[in-house]
A = this chain, B = another copy of it.
Amino acid sequence: MKKAVILLSGGLDSATVLAIAQAEGRACYALSFRYGQRHAAELAAASHIASALGAVQHLTLDLPLGSWGGSALTDNLEVPKDRSAQDLSAEIPITYVPARNTVFLSLALAWAEVLRATEIWIGVNALDYSGYPDCRPEFIKAFEEVARLGTRTGVEQSESIVIRAPLQFMSKADIIRAGLRLGVDFSWTHSCYDPPAPELHCGRCDACLLRKKGFDEAGVPDPTQYAE
């Protein structure tokens, strides 16, 4: 049974990624981070998802990304609300956390090497996404090269660690349909950047707007409790 490290944020995308990896028969090691995000409600969601979907192990690690701020998610900056689809695609928003996916992938790589896992799965998406540079396919390809060249596995074994990003070219609606087919209950998941209460989604940040639009376009009921 192939081992895989799954980056699990507790959101809709990474829950679906875990379900896909399980369906492909992987032994899944889920990895989450307490990195100073204001929406730490997603970590409780990640634990629930990991156990509900049958991950072999789930680790939540502390990371010092809050040491330098630089993002509305880790700093005292306002999370943008009610942005239009046009706004969403115009520029890199203030919710971007500098180098976050590079940091997350690097720790997943370290764990994968120790586990002798051959895959890292990540829920990046290049269609219905917030415009973060570290969600783009070319970034994922570049990191795979780092994984090949910077590890024992890449040097000593024929098989180096690959990055699987199955949602890369799917719409949010397609991701929701795929998750539902594989038994994901999206009421377990948390997307909101600025939850007014742990169980609530604000309904107005970029993540909430993309989530709403996804359920809408998929034509399935949205189980999320939105404040507005």
Contacts and interface: CB of A to CB of B under 8 A. Distances in A.
A111 to B, nearest CB: 5
A143 B143 CA distance: 7
B114 A70 contact: yes
Question: A59, A96, A107, A156 — which one has the most chain B CB atoms within 10 A of its CB?
Answer: A107
Contact of A103 (B69, B100, B107, B154): B107
A99 interface: yes
A175 to B, nearest CB: 22
A221 to B, nearest CB: 36
Contacts of A138: 149
Contacts of A111: 67-68, 98
Given A99-B106, A100-B110, A145-B145, A115 B150 contact: no
B92 A152 contact: yes
A151 interface: yes
Nearest to A143: B146
Interface in A65-98: 65, 67-70, 91-92, 96-98
Query: Which are the 3 A-B pairs with shortest beta-carbon distances?
Result: A70-B114, A98-B113, A99-B110
Interface of A: 59, 61-65, 67-70, 91-92, 96-103, 105-107, 109-111, 113-115, 133-134, 136, 138-139, 142-143, 145-152, 154-156
26 contacts: A59-B67, A61-B64, A62-B64, A63-B64, A64-B107, A68-B110, A68-B111, A70-B113, A99-B107, A99-B150, A100-B110, A101-B150, A102-B146, A102-B147, A102-B150, A103-B107, A103-B109, A105-B106, A106-B106, A133-B149, A133-B150, A133-B151, A139-B150, A142-B148, A143-B150, A145-B145
